[in-house]
Every structure is written in structure tokens, then in C-alpha cells.
Amino acid sequence: MLKHRKSNVISYLLLSASLFGSVAFAKESVETLSHNLTADQVYQGIKSTLESNLFSLPPRVQGHYAIRQYRMTGEDKYANGALIDLLTIAEQQAYYNCQLDKPGFSKAESQKEVAKIKPGIRGNARKSAIAPYPEFMFYTDILLRYASRVDEFGFKGPCHDVMINTLKNANLAPALTDKKMIKSWAAQLINYVFWAKQMGVGDYYSAYKQAFIKTYPDSEDAKLDKSQYKNKIYGMTHFIFAASGYYQQPVDAKEYQWILTYFENNIDRILKDTTEDIITEVGISFLITGNANNPVVDKVKKHVIAAYHPQLKMIPSPKGEAHLSSGEHRNVLAMMLLKWPETLHKGPYLNDITSTKRYLPKLVTPKSTAANKSSQ
């Protein structure tokens, strides 16, 4: 009996070492290894790595992966990961939304977010850019971010009307169209633009598009260093991604032809001067707009497949680090690129899925129910 128990303990320790060791893999750089794996083999390798380690990753990362896999596959099993995300966000909303009438609360919470920005060239530039807008991060990266996610799952969160009124009364245009802000947060700002429209609190799209193009005119590309060029391309992909509701529906290519044409004409520099995350997003931009046969897609797929490390079973960071928590974004994008579905799936609407409906947080209300209450 003792021997059997000891054997079980040893087995458990070995399993734990394998599991948690593979989450971090190695923070030191790893060498690139050439291989002849197919797109499907790379897809399956990344999927195996992420899903076997999923529960050791932070809730935010679990949710990010599960939501995207649900929208790619429509498989209800991924709704459980989205539920984890909802449970986390609902509690956050209860704290933030329900204290909005407290004097100085918005500004204080916003400054807490600003303080989290890591020091460095990019971090210092971001802090400098956002200094004139002391409440902006709270309104956008907290209130709008959480509200849009809860909305995508089919709910309204706690103190919803107070939050909506607060955002309607906040003029986000000056920050969204500020050249320094765009140079610091191009992709994040277009996310905020679409979230504001989604939640019905403001339409900033035309103003932001005009400001973005003015900040990054194609004629001045040669003046952009790698950091600014990456920011430009990352911002451009997010015009398309945000328009899709983040992979919930196809996007009309006509509205974003200016972006797709740019990617076609500049794919060689994109492959040379940006990262695997951004390169993959460029490829997905063509897929989600119905341009799967564009030559750019094949170039991007070949690049992404070559970046895969067959021993680590993932795509390492630009620095050669293999860390799942920070690398999930890059790797789930690669999965999406390599196995793009014929049909995208909205939601998941957690109140309509049997496996999640019974575990919903009490803090949220299904939108249909909320609408019925407000009309009574």
C-alpha cells in the first residue's frame, strides 16, 4: 500500500513538473529549428501544447484562448473557458461600475492603470502621451473593455445604466485623435472606437480613421523605425478585427481595401520588420475579408510555419523565449491562420449553452431579460 502510494506521489510530481515546466518552458532564448511539418501538424502541435497547459494559465489567458477557439469551431466545450472570463469580469464590473458616482474615483482608478505601464522607451512614451487625459484609461481599458466583453456574451453587467451614462458624457475624441496617442497605442485605440460604437456611447470611427491616416501617411513609411512601423501595421489589422467583432463575423473587404492593398504592396517589409503576431494578423485580415486566395496569405502561412519550434511545439517570442502565458496570443493566432473555418461563430452566448447556463454569475443579466425589464 505504501509502495503504491509512493508510486502515485512520484507520478504526480513528474506530471506536475511536466505541466508547469512546459508553461514557462524557458525564458532564455531558444534556437530556431528547421522542419518540414505541414500546416495541420503545426496547428495540432500548438493546440496540444496550449490545451494541455490551459488550466495553469491566468484566467484572462484561458478566456482569450477559449473565446477564439469557440468563434473558430463553435464547439461548446470552449464556452466553459469563456465562462471563466465572464465570472472574472463581472466581479470587476461590480467594483468599477457601481462606484462611478464616487468623487474622484474614475481619475484615481485611471492613474492606477497608468502606473502599471512598464518603464522603458515605449512605456515612457505611452505615459507621456496619456498625461493630458487623466481618466481615459479608466473609461476605455476598464469600462469599455469589460462592458463590450459582457455584451458579446449576451449580458448586461452590474450598474450598467450608470456606466453607459458615464461613457456617453465622456468625450473620448481628443485622446483618440491625438497623434502622440496613436503613435503609442494604434491598435488599442481602434478597439476602443469599436467598443464605444458597440455599446452605443459614441461614434468616433471617422475621426479616428482620419487621424490614423494623418499620423501614418504611406508616403512617410521610410521614416518609420521598426517600432513605429509595427505600431502602424498592428493598428491597421485591428481596424479589420474590431469590425469583425473579433472573429465573430466576416468583414466587407470594400471598406478596408485601403488596408488590404497596403498589405499587398508592403508584405516584404512586413515580413522583415514586424513580429509573428503582427504578420499572422496580416494573413488573417485577408481570410476574414474573403480573400483566402490572395498570395499574401500563402506567404504569411509559410513564414508562420517556419517560425514554429517542433521541440517546444509552439512559436517562440521574437526574442526566442518560450513562455505560454505571454505567447498564447501569438500561438492561437497561428492556429486561426492555419485552420480558418468556413463559418465563424458569434458569442459564445453563455445563457443559451446548457453547460454554462447554470453557472452564470448573479451579477449579470441576459440582455433579452434586461430589455424586457426596461420596457415594463
**Contact between 48 and 335 (Cβ < 8 Å):** no
Mean pLDDT of 299-312: 97
**Three cell numbers at 274?**
514586424
pLDDT of 15 > 80? The answer is no
**Three cell numbers at 299?**
506567404
pLDDT of 376 > 60? The answer is no
Distance CA(354)–CA(31), nearest Å, equals: 45
- State residue 30's pLDDT score: 64
Listed range (17-21, 138-142, 315-319) with the worst mean pLDDT: 17-21
- pLDDT tens string 169-218: 999 999 999 999 999 999 999 999 999 999 999 999 999 999 999 999 99
* Residue 11 backbone class (left: φ over 0; alpha: ψ -120 to 50; beta: rest): alpha
pLDDT of 374 > 70? The answer is no
Mean pLDDT of 216-233: 98
**Top-confidence residue, 24 or 33:** 33
Question: How many other CB atoms sit within 10 Å of the CB of residue 40?
Answer: 10
Under DSSP, the state recorded for 118 is: P
Q: Which residue has the cell 480573400?
A: 291
**Contact between 140 and 192 (Cβ < 8 Å):** yes
pLDDT of 14 > 80? The answer is no
Nearest Cα to Cα of residue 300 among 254, 258, 261, 268: 268
Residues near 165 by Cβ (< 8 Å), separated by ≥ 6?
none
